Structure 1
């Protein structure tokens, strides 16, 4: 008798199985929205697919007055700029600190407690402080993403480096490696796949911090647009924007996974 845990669907079957709940949710939404609009044609809570299609046509053809770009393009570029720069700062900082704290016990004893304290502070709680110190422009939004993501990535990378086999460190030191060489030639090559994985896991929180910052102080961006139209209960705009953000996040995650598999196949069970 075949056990359930032993059933391993092939790629085509996995794609089909993964599509089933998505299609089911869309069908449930379709039935629910049609039922609500049959009872109340002015209902805004569950817009029909045709209403959302009209809204999509509107924000994909209308132009933003400030930038003279198509609304969805202007919002997407502004949000991706903030998200990309914030994640780049966080990733660079986490890489340096993770190597330093992982390789040098003295640095770990000195800086580890500070990073642990910063990691437990809710980033959104410091948003007003960032607005006061850095102003309402791009710097505060980018800083929120970096502050929100960097401590967790740093702790993850530090734990990975300290968990490397002690034999590797001992052999490198026997061959004359100093602390700098241990970090760059022993720890760093093994750390890179973990860095990409940590970045993938940080995409979700980074989007949350971005949307929170844009909702409070922005004049363009995906989060700004969602919170702008919520006062009009414009679910026909909000739902497509949420779907678009989800697609962007999925695409970013897929690209990072592809880059990791191409650059470091050994970390994914493949050979060179």
Structure 2
């Protein structure tokens, strides 16, 4: 008899096992919702799926009486623009700082301690400072995301750069390459797939900072809407919004992974 530790499910069984916990959670939720609504039809803690569907239909397909906008899609667009802007800024700065500190000993000696200290500062603690310095507009939310994940990306790129075999640098110098040429032609192509991996790992934190910033100072966005309706105990809106954020996060991670495979297939081959 095969020991459990040695059992590896095939593809079909793996998919079924992956789906099973979600099915069980849905069943448990439906049972709990029906039980609570049977006792109190006005209960808001565990709304039925029909109630959540009605609420989301109103927000996604019925224009707001106040602004005339489709609230759900406007919230999604606003949040995605903020998240994408913050992540792109963080990726650019993180790549530059990580590459330089990983490749140049002088840069590492001068900036690595500062980078380490900055990475230890809780980004949410800087939120009041950002509001004072850059105001309550869009820039503060984008800056918070960038400040929150840039140190992580920079340190990851720094470590990945330092892992590149020194023999490559010696060969490049033997062939007459300058420092700039080594950075651009030798190191940069090898750390680009690592950059995408670092961005994928930092997206969770990026969503956290986005939701926090929108909850404190915003007039639209997914985080803003969740914290706006919580005062009315509108779980029929909060739960679908949380599920939508989760779906978007999964979709972005999946697309970045596919982009990495498409743009840098050699990196995937090296891993395998």
Q: TM-score, normalised by structure 1?
A: 0.95
For 1:55 and 1:130, how far apart are their aligned partners in 2?
35
**Contact between 1:103 and 1:182, CA under 8 Å: does it hold in 2?**
no
**Contact between 1:45 and 1:233, CA under 8 Å: does it hold in 2?**
yes
For 1:3 and 1:176, how far apart are their aligned partners in 2?
58
Q: Does 1:261 align with 2:261?
A: yes
| Counterpart position of 1:226 | 226
Pairwise CA RMSD: 1.6
Consecutive unaligned residues of structure 1, counting only runs of 5 or more, are none
Q: How much does 1:62 deviate?
A: 2.6
| Counterpart position of 1:249 | 249
| Counterpart position of 1:140 | 140
| Counterpart position of 1:37 | 37
For 1:10 and 1:151, how far apart are their aligned partners in 2?
40
Segment of structure 1 superposing worse, 73-82 or 175-184: 175-184
| Superimposed CA distance per residue, residues 223-262 of structure 1 (whole angstroms, 9 cap, x where no aligned partner) | 0000000000101100000000011111100100000011
**Contact between 1:67 and 1:74, CA under 8 Å: does it hold in 2?**
no
For 1:128 and 1:270, how far apart are their aligned partners in 2?
45
| Counterpart position of 1:99 | 99
| Structure 2 SS opposite 1:181 | helix
| Structure 1 SS opposite 2:41 | coil
Consecutive unaligned residues of structure 2, counting only runs of 5 or more, are none
For 2:247 and 2:225, how far apart are their aligned partners in 1?
17
Segment of structure 1 superposing worse, 141-150 or 261-270: 261-270
Q: How much does 1:66 deviate?
A: 6.8
| Counterpart position of 1:25 | 25
1:10-89 equivalence runs, <5 A: 10-64=10-64, 68-89=68-89
- How many equivalent pairs are there? 271
For 1:201 and 1:55, how far apart are their aligned partners in 2?
33
| Superimposed CA distance per residue, residues 189-219 of structure 1 (whole angstroms, 9 cap, x where no aligned partner) | 1101110000000110000000000000100
| Structure 1 SS opposite 2:45 | coil
- Distance of aligned partners of 1:65 and 1:136 in 2 relative to their CA distance in 1, 3 Å threshold: farther
For 2:114 and 2:195, how far apart are their aligned partners in 1?
21
